[in-house]
Chains A and B, each alone.
Chain A
């Protein structure tokens, strides 16, 4: 057993003619919270989908527990995914099922456990995210933060060894953000899992991550502990961490000369 539960090796991926990732290398050690950060459209979520085997890389490979993800057949892929839990950006709760049934869904589908045991497990998972009392509610009755917590309870329903979070803090109020932040760290430690967080929220991510990768222009632009990255003098990292308007990532999208364009007759 390698010390890294997920390894990304010389990975390239692109849509049509545009290459999104160009030879990316990353490792995710067991038991750690590792963040992947970068601007919008830098391919962070795509990296999660590559780890989950939802898309195949153009070049290179992703290994989960030493097994190459894209070489798995359907059964092998599902076997790998049973070790993973994923929290989607907007929760992706099944809208026709109650909170209880949402959390029970993976347990019912993938295990042959009796209903009485499923009930106990679901209530335990909901209790862990503080929503045991909301188990009869339907998804439209939940606030954004509550929906995210239910989705988190569902992601950890089968005690996965890898938990992936796609923008877990996006669109949340400060209280919910703090709650989710706390939950990610505490659940990771309690379950002995490895967490992979994709986010662009610097403050919250740095608060809980053990290690951070910065992705820009399809490559790993910087990596290190949050402490190292705060003090980094690399222009991109500095711009990102301090939220500066202009820098290596320009404010303006590439465009022809402003004055010339205004003077042009329609």
Chain B
């Protein structure tokens, strides 16, 4: 009996430790976020730092994002046509592809791909900088690592995400056009005019808002995981995994919350 009781207590203690640890991490993440905002003035004074990081996070993610967008657009057109033709509205295929991309898939898939490509790279880079004492060296040189390393990467991620989401939607529409017009034979005029008539400006602004929020979330998660990673090979590897998992869940959760507000 006493044995069972002690096992239950041990189990509860473990759960308590886990919960406490997660709350602590949430607080540490929030603290890093506010410190990043506080120490951002330096990188705005030297925009070259942000531009350099935008190259690594944004430009280097272009290929994976554009290729994915093209395939997503093509699949949307194929699937959409099958359903729409049953109702005799196959000419609305352009609207379906565009709205699906602009409202949901553009910002969400871009954020997921961004987390997998640029987010993991950021986590691994900062984790390794910590493990090899590069961040300590910077501190000892009287250079603040948050303003020199974290803040430029943060703003680069935040600014890249809406641009990437826009490109994703554009290329996705082109993919859809290729399948719908060139392969299936939907009228090209109907494809574009229906899209033009039904996609509103608010859809585009909502896409930009969503991708901006996802940009803040994904970049901050990646930076925090790297900054907080234990300075070992195993620590960096776990941090990179956590970046992908937490970013993906956060993006999907935030997407639901934002969509709920935008639909009101």
Q: Which residues of A contact B (CB under 8 A)?
A: 52, 54, 74, 77-79, 81-82, 84-86, 88-90, 92-95, 105-106, 109-110
Are the C-beta atoms of B143 and A106 separated by less than 8 Å?
Answer: yes
Min CB gap B227→A, angstroms: 15
**Chain A residues whose C-beta falls within 8 Å of the C-beta of B148 in the assembled complex:** 109
Min CB gap B35→A, angstroms: 11
Are the C-beta atoms of A54 and B141 separated by less than 8 Å?
Answer: no
Residue B187 at the A interface, CB < 8 A? no
Residue B134 at the A interface, CB < 8 A? yes
Residue B133 at the A interface, CB < 8 A? yes
Q: Besides A79-B142, A95-B132, A106-B143, 4 other CB < 8 A contacts?
A: A78-B142, A88-B133, A93-B134, A109-B141
Residue B67 at the A interface, CB < 8 A? no
Question: Lowest 9 A-B CB distances belong to which pairs?
Answer: A92-B137, A92-B133, A78-B142, A81-B142, A86-B140, A106-B141, A88-B133, A109-B143, A82-B142
Q: What DSSP secondary structure best describes chain B's contact surface?
A: helix
Are the C-beta atoms of B132 and A90 separated by less than 8 Å?
Answer: yes
Q: Which residues of B contact A (CB under 8 A)?
A: 128-129, 132-134, 136-137, 139-144, 148
Are the C-beta atoms of A81 and B133 separated by less than 8 Å?
Answer: no
Are the C-beta atoms of B132 and A81 separated by less than 8 Å?
Answer: no
- Smallest CB gap from B39: residue in A: A74
Min CB gap A219→B, angstroms: 26
Are the C-beta atoms of A89 and B143 separated by less than 8 Å?
Answer: no
Are the C-beta atoms of B133 and A90 separated by less than 8 Å?
Answer: yes
Are the C-beta atoms of A52 and B140 separated by less than 8 Å?
Answer: yes
Q: What DSSP secondary structure best describes chain A's contact surface?
A: mixed
**Chain A residues whose C-beta falls within 8 Å of the C-beta of B140 in the assembled complex:** 52, 54, 81, 84-86
- Smallest CB gap from A74: residue in B: B144
Min CB gap A137→B, angstroms: 17
Are the C-beta atoms of B137 and A86 separated by less than 8 Å?
Answer: yes
**Chain B residues whose C-beta falls within 8 Å of the C-beta of A78 in the assembled complex:** 142, 144
Are the C-beta atoms of A89 and B133 separated by less than 8 Å?
Answer: yes
Q: Name 22 A/B residue pairs within 8 A (Cβ), A-sorted.
A: A52-B139, A52-B140, A54-B139, A54-B140, A77-B142, A78-B144, A81-B139, A81-B140, A81-B141, A81-B142, A84-B140, A85-B140, A86-B140, A88-B136, A89-B133, A94-B137, A95-B132, A105-B141, A105-B143, A106-B142, A109-B143, A109-B148
- Smallest CB gap from B148: residue in A: A109
